[in-house]
Amino acid sequence: MATDALMSEADKALGEEICEFVKWVPRQLLLDMDEDKVKYPKEFLQEAGLRNLLGLRFDPKWGGRGLPWTSELIALEEVGVLGTSLGCLYALASIVGEAIHVFGTEAQKEKYLKPMIEGKIGPAEGLTEPRGGSDFFGATTVARRKGDVFVLNGQKRFIVGAEGADVLLIYAKVEGIEDPKRAMTAFLVERGTGVSVAHLYGLMGTRGGGTGRLVFNDAIVPVENVLGGEAGIGNGTRVFHQMMIPERLTSAGAAVGMARAAIEVAARYADKRTAFGRRIRDYEGVSFKVSESLTLLDAARTLNYAAGHAVDTHQGSGGKVRRLVSEAKKFATDAAWTVANHAMQILGGIGYTNIYPVERLLRDIRLITIWTGTNEIMDLVIQHEFYREFLRGSLKGRDLERDAAGAEYGEEKVY
Ligand SMILES: Cc1cc2nc3c(=O)[nH]c(=O)nc-3n(C[C@H](O)[C@H](O)[C@H](O)COP(=O)(O)OP(=O)(O)OC[C@H]3O[C@@H](n4cnc5c(N)ncnc54)[C@H](O)[C@@H]3O)c2cc1C
């Protein structure tokens, strides 16, 4: 793989450790989840926690391993082979954990982050609302202060772990603050009166993760459960931007694993299956699909690694990191979709059945270009951050516009 040469001995050992955990996951669990027989596989998180494989980046003080992103990406790819649901449940400790790790009070870290990393409590995050997910700041869930508590009213849609998770990181706007960016606040909400699951979705894939619509009807949240406590009121925009790094890098990392799983199944099939008296992998129409898939996955791994390294080393402006992370998410998830389709095509008709897991992986992978910010939103971020830097004149080098014979005819340059 393209990034093998960049891996330390410790990274390789981590890869093996994760691989052992992935082998532990019961086949029946995957099948039951896909049939919606399971609502929330707590045992998966418990086992990952027991093996100290959750929240790898976080401070050992809270149970993490203090590893860089470049290592966590190795874990995400391995877990990704299990599909979107388990990949997501694994990643949520990294996503919700990031918010608590960076912005939480010591008490919040003790109460939520530590047991989350231990796999004892399952986290969920609520950003998307029925009226829209892309327009995050258009959210309508409100929090009204009443002394020492906030009263939450509103809804969140498509929340993985709506059914089953123990702590919900919910964004709501504090009533009375005009500017939506200054009103946005992140709350750590526990289940109780006023919090209910109104609907569980019938999903095309990514099943068994308890994805539902949450309703907050006068839900009481103590001020101490504002992420960051009193100081965290109105800090939701910063939390959101910070969380979008793991939100998107975890998608990018797991995408590579899912697509790798699909193409490995197809490649083995192509080595055995015959048509017109030859192995089908001897036909370019088949083998070049394998080549393209491997190349796409290596390109995705490399971009993921570069984005992860940029986050680890805080290289460049926040904007540059945001751009790289968005590029990684977009590229890896689009690549995974292409690869999953190549895999299905190679399998022919049998690929469209449940004899092989490729149809499940394909259904799962379809989601990842949509969630954690659609790939159109990734495009929006990428060009936005590019222009911000480009128009500031901070990109140095040769004046390229002058490399044309007619460059001096200024009157022809009409804008
Ligand atoms: C199975 C599943 C699990 C999910 N898990 C979670 C979860 O745990 N927590 C959570 O908060 N959310 C979750 N989501 C929600 C997901 O992140 C959103 O569906 C996604 O962000 C898109 O929001 P939307 O569905 O409201 O689509 P919309 O925002 O309504 O977008 C519809 C279409 O318009 C396009 N569009 C919108 N604005 C623009 C623009 N400015 N420029 C170009 N195109 C644009 C979008 O790209 C999209 O194609 C999940 C979704 C699913 C289906």
Mutate to test the pocket of ligand 1, among 90, 129, 158 (most ligand atoms within 8 A of CB): 158
* Residue 375 and residue 333 in contact, taking contact as beta carbons nearer than 8 Å: yes
Residues 20 and 153 reside in one and the same domain: no
* Spatial distance between the Cα atoms of 350 and 22, rounded to a whole number of angstroms: 26
**15/18 Cα distance (integer angstroms):** 5
Q: Compute the distance between CA of residue 25 and CA of residue 46 in angstroms, rounded to an integer.
A: 12
Average pLDDT, the chain: 96
The CATH number of residue 10's host domain is 1.10.540.10
Ligand 1 closest atom vs CA 375: 47
pLDDT digits (tens, 9 = 90+) for 67-80: 999 999 999 999 99
Q: Which residues line ligand 1 (CB under 6 A)?
A: 125-128, 132-134, 158-160, 203, 206, 211, 367, 370-374, 376-377, 380
Report yes or no on 360 lying in a domain.
yes
Residues 168 and 292 placed together within one structural domain of the fold? no
- 136 and 74 belong to one structural domain: no
**pLDDT confidence band for 137 (50 / 70 / 90):** very high
Q: Are residues 18 and 111 in the same domain?
A: yes
Clarify whether residues 266 and 291 are in a common domain: yes
Distance 414 CA to ligand 1 centre (A): 39
Q: What is the pLDDT of residue 147?
A: 97
Same domain? 267 vs 386 = yes
Average pLDDT over residues 9-33: 97
- 413 CA to centre of own chain: 44
Q: What is the pTM of this model?
A: 0.96
Q: Which residues form the domain of 29?
A: 4-122
State the DSSP code for 92: H
Q: Which of 192, 193, 175 is nearest to 184 (CA)?
A: 175
Least confident interval from 106-120, 151-165, 308-322, 378-392: 308-322
**φ, ψ for residue 128, nearest 5 deg:** -70, 140
Per-residue exposure over 155-174, b if at least 16 CB sit within 10 Å of its own CB, e if not: bbbbbbbbbbbbbbbbbbbb
Residues 91 and 165 in one domain: no
Q: Is residue 177 part of a domain?
A: yes
For ligand 1, the distance from its centroid to the CA atom of residue 123, given in whole angstroms, is: 20
Distance 259 CA to ligand 1 centre (A): 22
Least confident of 1-10, 100-109, 159-168: 1-10
372 lies in a domain? yes
Q: In the structure, what pLDDT confidence band is assigned to residue 394 with cuts at 50, 70 and 90? A: low
- Alpha carbons 352 and 240: distance in angstroms, whole number: 39
Interstrand relation of 184-190 and 149-159 (parallel, antiparallel or unpaired) = unpaired
CATH at residue 298: 1.20.140.10
Q: Percent of the chain beyond pLDDT 70?
A: 99
Last residue within a domain, chosen from 93, 122, 151: 122
Same domain? For 83 and 176 the reply is no
Residue 252 located in a structural domain: yes
Residues 208 and 79 in one domain: no
Structure tokens at 275: 């048509």
**Distance (Å, rounded) from C-alpha 370 to C-alpha 393?**
33
pLDDT of residue 390: 87
Of 194, 210, 233, at which residue does a domain stop?
233
CA-based end-to-end distance of the chain: 46
Choose the residue to mutate in 168, 371, 379, 384 for probing ligand 1, maximizing ligand atoms within 8 Å of C-beta. Answer: 371
State pLDDT tens for residues 303-339: 999 999 999 998 766 899 999 999 999 999 999 999 9
pLDDT on residue 387: 94
pLDDT for residue 1: 86
196 phi/psi in degrees, rounded to 5: -140, 160
* Cα–Cα distance, 191 to 162 (Å, whole number): 10
The answer as to whether 90 is a domain residue is yes
User: What CATH number has the domain bearing residue 140?
Assistant: 2.40.110.10
Mean pLDDT on 10-15: 96
Q: Pairing state of beta strands 123-126 and 142-146?
A: unpaired
pLDDT at 316: 63
What atom of ligand 1 comes closest to residue 126's alpha carbon?
11
Answer whether residue 321 is part of any domain: yes
In whole angstroms, give the CA distance from residue 189 to residue 192. Answer: 9
DSSP, residue by residue, 282-331? GSHHHHHHHHHHHHHHHHHHHHHHHHHHHHHHT-S-HHHHHHHHHHHHHH
Pick the more confident residue, 391 or 250: 250
What's CA 374's distance to the chain center, in Å? 11
37, pLDDT greater than 80: yes
Q: Mean pLDDT across the stretch 78-93?
A: 98
Query: How far is CA 319 from its chain centroid?
Result: 19
Q: Per the domain annotation, does 400 fall within a domain? A: no
What average pLDDT does the segment 121-135 reach? Answer: 96
Spatial distance between the Cα atoms of 45 and 92, rounded to a whole number of angstroms: 10
Query: Do 243 and 292 belong to one domain?
Result: yes
Tell me, yes or no, whether 161 and 181 share the same domain: yes
396 has a pLDDT exceeding 80: no
pLDDT for res 135: 95
81 within a domain of the structure (yes/no) = yes
At 182 the pLDDT is: 95
Decide which of 71, 93, 122 is a domain's last residue: 122
Question: What is the pLDDT confidence band of residue 138, given thresholds at 50, 70 and 90?
Answer: very high
**168 pLDDT more than 90:** yes
**Beta strands 142-146; 195-200: pairing state:** unpaired
User: Based on the domain organization, do 206 and 253 belong to the same domain?
Assistant: no
From the CA of 380, give the closest atom in ligand 1: 42
Give the chain's domain count.
Answer: 3
Model confidence at 395: pLDDT above 70: no
Tell me which DSSP letter residue 274 carries.
Answer: E
